[in-house]
Amino acid sequence: MYLGKDLKKIRKNRTYSQKNITSSIISQSTYSKFEAGIRDVDASIYLQLLQRLNISGEEFDYVRNGYNYERKSNLIHTLFSLNYNHMGNLHKLKQQTIDFLEEQHDEDIKRIYLICEAFIQIHNTKNIEVAQNIVVPIWKDMSKYEQWYLNDIRIMNTILFLFPVDIATELTQTVVARLDTYKDFQDAERLKLAFKINLSLLLIKNKDYVKALTIIVDSLQRNKKNMDYSLLSLHFSREAICRTNIQKKKSTELLEKARQLLRLYDDYDYWERIQQEFDYYTS
């Protein structure tokens, strides 16, 4: 279906006339032909029309696809919302990327395939070097970019723990500086927090509890009021891990904060995962 026909549905739902949304953007006659599917408009014009209708390009694609993500967007969205410990979902997503790539080449989908394969191999072999070798092509490609955009940054965040700690630390600093340019852009702050909390686990794995604690405490001081419950509880539990290892006594108060917070949201599965992580790194 033509973009113009979908735009027409939204315009009419908003009770806007063609004149309302074309003023100072495009002639009404040209826009009328666009709605009728007779002609296309430039991308810059299309984006201005969406802005006039107060709808983002992502939401427009979602709505016109029957309130579903289109196929590629769905695979990307699935990757970023995946529990990487769930082998069934990883295998399912991997197969979906294989099916997609058999029909068309796409670098983003190829990266998702490699990430799935890396996590599967970590689970099967317990060898992080095997997983590192699998994702090397992603790093080689992306290191050539002059700038990283949000999806690039999300991709790097999923494989951050595969890097040596010194490289991961430098990478996090670079990403946080890059995200500063996004200021109030949606998801930018959450991505910063995700990088920092993921780096904290990498430092914990390397027994650098002091540096990990510094990152966690700073993150809490700066962003505590803006965190959702799952991220806040994870900060509490990671702080508990660090303090337990530094002070050589169990930091029950912080862990209890995480437990109570997750109980409020009935998120018992996440609490179980947090408790397992705490027990593993403090045993």
Determine the pLDDT at residue 239: 97
What whole-number distance in Å separates Cα of residue 186 and Cα of residue 182?
8
Q: What is the pLDDT of residues 46-78, one digit of tens each?
A: 999 999 999 988 899 888 888 888 899 999 999
What whole-number distance in Å separates Cα of residue 29 and Cα of residue 27?
5
Q: Which long-range contacts (CB under 8 A, 24 or more apart) does 92-97 make?
A: 94/120
Q: Which of 229, 84, 97 is nearest to 158 (CA)?
A: 84
**Model-level pTM?**
0.78
Q: Does residue 274 sit in helix, strand or coil?
A: helix
Question: Domain residues of the chain, as ranges?
Answer: 3-64, 70-143
Regarding the domain with residue range 3-64, which homologous superfamily does it belong to in the CATH classification? Answer: lambda repressor-like DNA-binding domains (1.10.260.40)
Residue 283 has pLDDT above 70, yes or no: yes
User: Do 273 and 236 contact (CB within 8 A), yes or no?
Assistant: no
Q: What is the pLDDT of residues 240-256, one digit of tens each?
A: 999 999 998 888 999 99
Cβ neighbours of 145 (radius 10 Å): 9
What DSSP designation does 135 have?
H
What whole-number distance in Å separates Cα of residue 95 and Cα of residue 88?
11
Query: Tokens 């058999």 sit at which residue?
Result: 102
Determine the pLDDT at residue 84: 81
Percent of the chain with pLDDT over 70: 100
Q: What is the pLDDT of residues 147-170, one digit of tens each?
A: 888 889 999 999 988 888 888 888
What whole-number distance in Å separates Cα of residue 52 and Cα of residue 54?
5
Q: What is the pLDDT of residues 179-214, one digit of tens each?
A: 888 877 778 888 889 999 999 999 999 999 999 999
Q: Which two tokens stand for residue 34?
A: 């666009």
Q: Which two tokens stand for residue 191?
A: 């991505």
| Res. 28 pLDDT band, cuts 50 70 90 | very high
Q: Which of 245, 173, 187, 188 is nearest to 213 (CA)?
A: 245
Q: Which two tokens stand for residue 268?
A: 């018992």
What whole-number distance in Å separates Cα of residue 282 and Cα of residue 271?
16
Chain-centre distance of CA 168, in angstroms? 17
